[in-house]
C-alpha cells in the first residue's frame, strides 16, 4: 500500500507546477485546506525536503521553494500500481504500461510470470486511469498477441476501457525481430493499443492548412505523427535485461515522442525494469514509476539513479 506521504509530494508537485515559487505556508495551506489531507505540519515539510533530494523541488530561499522544471525527473514509488488514489485528477499527460496479466499463454518467449503477482484488469482499473489522465491524452497498453486462450480477456480489456470513457485510437504490433523462436503459443510480437481520454488532443500539425496559410500553425486531433504500421525493434537481450518483460528503450522513446511533448508528466503503473522512466528522461519528460515487487523495485531504482547521474554530469 502506498503511504500518504507520497501523495503529499505528488500533490504539491502538481499543484505548484505552473507557479514561479511557493512558500512553506502556501504548501501547508494547499495540503490541509484545499487537498483536505489529514496530516501534521512536520510531515508536509518532510515531504518537501525529500522532494528536494529527489530533484522535484528546489529551495530558493528560507521557506521559499519552486518546482523543478529545467531537468526531467523520475519519481519512484514502491507500491501497488492499481492504487492511484494519491494521484490528483487530470494530472497525468500520458500513461504507458504493461500489466502482469494472468494468462496461461504468459509462458514462453521473453516473459514467464509463474512467480510474479499476476491479475486481470477490471473496469475500476480503467476508471482510475481515466481519472488521473488529462482530457485528450493517451493511454498505451502493451498486450499479448491474440490467440484462442486469451482472446476473451483481450476483448474485455478494450470494452472495459471504452465503458470507462476512453476511445479506441489504434492498435500497432511490436515486431520483435526475425528469426526468433518463442514457442508455438507465443508469437514474436506484442500488440500496443492506444486509447485516448475522449477525443484525442491536437498534437499533429495540419500540413494542408499550413500550406494554404503559412503564416499560421494549424493542428489536428491525434498523435504527433501518423502511427507506423508496426514497431520493429528487437527484444532486449536476456543477459542484459533486468525484467523478463522489459521493452526496448528506443521503442519506448518513439512512443513517448508520438503521444506527448517535452516537460509533460507520464505514468507507468507496473514499471518493472524502469525502461519507460529512462526513455522519459532521455526524451525530456517527467515520469512516475510504480513497482510492487521489492527486488524489481531496487533494480529499477539503480537503473534510474545511474541515468540521472549521467544527466547531472552532462549539465555540469
Concatenated DSSP letters for 21-54? -EEHHHHHHIIIIIS-----HHHHHHHHHHHHHH
Q: What is the pTM of this model?
A: 0.75
Please state, rounded to an integer, the average pLDDT across all residues of the chain: 83
Rounded Cα–Cα distance for residues 89 and 10 (Å): 12
96 has pLDDT over 90: yes
Handedness of CA 203, 84, 13, 52 (dihedral sign): negative
What domains can you pick out in the chain, each with its CATH number?
4-67 (1.10.10.10), 74-315 (3.40.50.150)
Helix (H, G, I), strand (E, B) or coil at 191: strand
Rounded Cα–Cα distance for residues 124 and 177 (Å): 35
pLDDT tens, residue by residue, 224-238: 999 999 999 998 887
Q: For the chain, how far is it from start to end, CA to CA, in angstroms?
A: 38
Adjacent-strand bridge partners of 288: 75, 267
The alpha carbons of the chain give a radius of gyration, in whole angstroms, of 20
Task: Tell which wins on pLDDT, 218 or 101.
Answer: 101
Task: Report, as an integer, the average pLDDT of 9-14.
Answer: 78
Amino acid at each position: 500500500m502506498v503511504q500518504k506521504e507520497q501523495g503529499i509530494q505528488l500533490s504539491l508537485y502538481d499543484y505548484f507546477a505552473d507557479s514561479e515559487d511557493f512558500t512553506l505556508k502556501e504548501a501547508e495551506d494547499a495540503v490541509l485546506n484545499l487537498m483536505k489531507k489529514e496530516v501534521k505540519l512536520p510531515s508536509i515539510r518532510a515531504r518537501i525536503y525529500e522532494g528536494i533530494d529527489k530533484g522535484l523541488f528546489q529551495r530558493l530561499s528560507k521557506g521559499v521553494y519552486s518546482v523543478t522544471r529545467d531537468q526531467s525527473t523520475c519519481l519512484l514509488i514502491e507500491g501497488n500500481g492499481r492504487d492511484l488514489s494519491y494521484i490528483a485528477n487530470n494530472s497525468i499527460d500520458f500513461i504507458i504500461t504493461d500489466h502482469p496479466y494472468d494468462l496461461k499463454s504468459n509462458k514462453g518467449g521473453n516473459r514467464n510470470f509463474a512467480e510474479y503477482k499476476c491479475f486481470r484488469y477490471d473496469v475500476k482499473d480503467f476508471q482510475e486511469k481515466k481519472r488521473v489522465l488529462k482530457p485528450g491524452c493517451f493511454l498505451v497498453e502493451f498486450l499479448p498477441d491474440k490467440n484462442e486462450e486469451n482472446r476473451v480477456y483481450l476483448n474485455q480489456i478494450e470494452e472495459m476501457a471504452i465503458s470507462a470513457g476512453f476511445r479506441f485510437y489504434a492498435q500497432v504490433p511490436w515486431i520483435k525481430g526475425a528469426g526468433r523462436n518463442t514457442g508455438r503459443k507465443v508469437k514474436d510480437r506484442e500488440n500496443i493499443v492506444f486509447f485516448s481520454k475522449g477525443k484525442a488532443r491536437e498534437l499533429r500539425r495540419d500540413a494542408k492548412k499550413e500550406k494554404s496559410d503559412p503564416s499560421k500553425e494549424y493542428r489536428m486531433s491525434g498523435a504527433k505523427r501518423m502511427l507506423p504500421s508496426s514497431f520493429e525493434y528487437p527484444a532486449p537481450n536476456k543477459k542484459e535485461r533486468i525484467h523478463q518483460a522489459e521493452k526496448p528503450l528506443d521503442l519506448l522513446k518513439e512512443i513517448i515522442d508520438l503521444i506527448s511533448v517535452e516537460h509533460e508528466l507520464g505514468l507507468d503503473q507496473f514499471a518493472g525494469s524502469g525502461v519507460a522512466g529512462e526513455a522519459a528522461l532521455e526524451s525530456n519528460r517527467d515520469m512516475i514509476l510504480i513497482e510492487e515487487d521489492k527486488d524489481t523495485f531496487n533494480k529499477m531504482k539503480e537503473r534510474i539513479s545511474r541515468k540521472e547521474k549521467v544527466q547531472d554530469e552532462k549539465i555540469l
